[in-house]
A = this chain, B = another copy of it.
Amino acid sequence: MVVMFMSWYDRCVAEDARAEGIERLRAGALGDDLSFLLARANALSLSAGNAALRPFGLKARSYSVLVLSAEEPGPSQRELAEFLRLDPSQIVALVDDLQSRGLLERQPAPADRRTNVVAATSAGRALLRRAQRAARAAEQTVHAGVTDDERMLLAEALRRIAFLD
């Protein structure tokens, strides 16, 4: 189990001189550690995704909120927090930002006036369509090493881990 592995790597060109050392580490204990592989795969996926979303003024988190708020019916902020495993206060900031850009709206829920339902605007949906194309292209690049069959098995296994209830 490991970590974020963020972006020093993104500006680092792998050196041949170090390659053998890295290969050695990879053959060691962590190279078979499922949590480590999960963390490293996620870090690569995340940084590729963030890079692809940057032209749209989005990051993984705001992109996720936008995707979910484009569903029908839209989620409450509480549901967003739980599904994305983010603190409700962080959802406030994300929704504030997207709302100020006219990409989504807070709609007071008729049944419970404490609750805001978050719904993408048509501008939000338009941006989302373009962003999704870019995100999917980035995802394909990151997952280029696995076949379509493997990808399905991978998704199923991850789903069982991600939603182990």
Which A residues have a C-beta under 8 Å from some C-beta of B? 1-9, 12, 14, 18, 21-22, 24-26, 28-46, 48-50, 52-53, 60-61, 63-64, 67-68, 70-71, 75-76, 78-79, 81-88, 90, 135, 138-139, 142-146, 150-151, 153-165
Contacts of A139 in B (CB 8 A): 1, 33-35
Distance to closest chain B CB from A112 (angstroms): 10
Bound-state CA distance A38–B150 (Å) is 14
Closest Cβ neighbor of A142 among chain B residues: B161
CA gap between A24 and B162 in the complex, in Å: 15
Shortest CB–CB separation between residue A151 and chain B, in angstroms?
A: 7
Tell me, in angstroms, the Cα distance from A36 to B161 when the chains sit together. Answer: 12
Docked CA distance A17–B26 (Å):
45
A145 to nearest B CB, angstroms?
4
- In the bound assembly, the distance between CA atoms of A32 and B112 in angstroms comes to 30
Tell me the nearest residue of chain B to A50, going by C-beta: B1
